A and B are shown apart, each in its own frame.
Chain A
Amino acid sequence: MIETLNKAFCALPGVGNKTAQRFVYHLLERNREGGFELAKALVDAMEHVKHCSSCRTLSEKNICNICANDVRDNSQLCIVETPTDIHAIEQSGVYKGKYFVLSGYLSPIDGIGAAELGLDELEQKLKDQNVEEVILATNATVEGEVTAHYISNMVKQFDIKITRIAHGIPIGGELEYADINTIAHALSGRKSYN
């Protein structure tokens, strides 16, 4: 039984045999109550959390809280690669629109195409809903750029404004330590200062 639990903990990222052993003995010897809570929470989450039918993020409800929130701006749709990206953007507190989660990026070599990213669903969403602006917030990697390009081509058929999040020097960062690609991008995407 201890061995099984040990192996089960190894499913977590960054947890090897040694760390798993520490977890197991800690729960068994010092915190049985916490162990029960963890077990219950895990079973609940694994059984009930699914993908939101509207934006594909993880949610225990059929429609997630953000999609169900009527106060949020329906005309803006922000496309992100993962549910954790939503969390990051939400923490910034500046975006009040809705989201769409791709759960990955286009990667022809790995066989990940439009269907795997739910782009058919996105197209349908753009047809059905009154979206005025699509914000491409895929990562600033070449793969993210390819994905953004593909989606922008798809969105062009609708009369929708397409924007891409800005890339550049991080706030509090120093130019001296930025890499050349970031500096080049920051310069080419400069804005008038007033």
Chain B
Amino acid sequence: MTKVDLTPAFLIHRRAFKDTSLLLDFLTLDHGKIRLVGRGLRNSKTQIQVFQHLKISYSGKGDLKGLNNWEADDTPRQLKGDSLILGMYVNELISRLLHEQDPHFELFEIYKNFIESLATIDTLSSRWLLRLFEHNLLQELGYGVNLSEDIVGEKIDLTAKYEYQHQDGFVRSVTGKILGKSINQLLIDDIDNMPDTQQLKVCRDLNRMRLKPLLGDKPLQSRSLFFSK
């Protein structure tokens, strides 16, 4: 019998389960991604919502445990429009890439900061925030890449151009699209230190390339739904 009391968590996804219950996927601080049953929650007046920092208590035997109690530990947050879409995209990434009950303490903080910042920044900065999140997520999952040196061990030159080789790193190349400066900006990980629009697109393509092998044949639904136009 497992019993966990008031652990920090974010709801990632919820779906209907049986008549009045919900199947809930959480990202928790202490136990990584977990799936719980919220019995009778569909009829509850106060609904458990995504993008809200929560504290949850759960218990049970076996794989599927039950949510006993939850409370919001956050100020109210309403993501709207573009931020809402980015939030859904990130939730799909987490849902697809994380294994159940594999704790990532750092990632929880990164996700928390991402959601908090998302509610307050403009569209262009939110794209950069998303690129940094994707990069940090990959780093956390063990698919990090060396951002300070290229493949042969030379320091990344801010003015040079690079190409990305999957899982190996960056190769200096005259025809490369990635500016050394952008690689450095990913390393610095500062929302205010943003590349220009052109390089932001290059970073997007870079992250897509890095994510592709992890996602396999099944493309991200939210990407085709919201970013295809």
Contacts and interface: CB of A to CB of B under 8 A. Distances in A.
Interface of A: 13-14, 106-111, 113-114, 141-142, 145-146, 149-150, 179-181, 183-185, 188
For A106, A111, A145, A146, the residue with the greatest tally of chain B CB atoms inside 10 Å of its CB is A146
Contacts of A185: 76, 78
Contacts of A145: 80, 84
B225 A180 contact: no
A170 B154 CA distance: 64
B221 to A, nearest CB: 4
Contacts, number: 58
13 contacts: A106-B225, A108-B88, A108-B222, A109-B92, A141-B47, A142-B51, A142-B84, A142-B88, A146-B88, A149-B81, A181-B76, A183-B76, A185-B78
A139 B84 CA distance: 15
A146 B15 contact: no
B13 A146 contact: no
B148 interface: no
Given A13-B19, A149-B85, A150-B226, A108 B92 contact: yes
Contacts of A107: 15
B126 interface: no
B198 interface: no
Interface of B: 13, 15, 19-20, 46-47, 49-52, 72, 75-76, 78-81, 84-85, 88-89, 91-92, 95, 220-222, 224-226
Given A142-B50, A142-B79, A149-B84, 17 more contacts: A13-B19, A14-B20, A106-B225, A108-B88, A108-B89, A108-B222, A109-B13, A109-B95, A113-B224, A141-B49, A146-B84, A146-B88, A149-B80, A150-B225, A179-B72, A181-B72, A183-B76
A185 B77 CA distance: 9
Interface of A is mostly: helix
Nearest to A180: B76
Given A14-B19, A141-B47, A142-B49, A111 B88 contact: no
A143 to B, nearest CB: 8
A47 to B, nearest CB: 26
Contacts of A150: 225-226
Given A13-B19, A108-B88, A142-B51, A113 B221 contact: yes
Contacts of B15: 107, 110
Nearest to A139: B47
Contact of A146 (B47, B76, B85): B85
Contacts of B226: 150
Given A179-B72, A184-B76, A111 B221 contact: yes
Contacts of A179: 46, 72
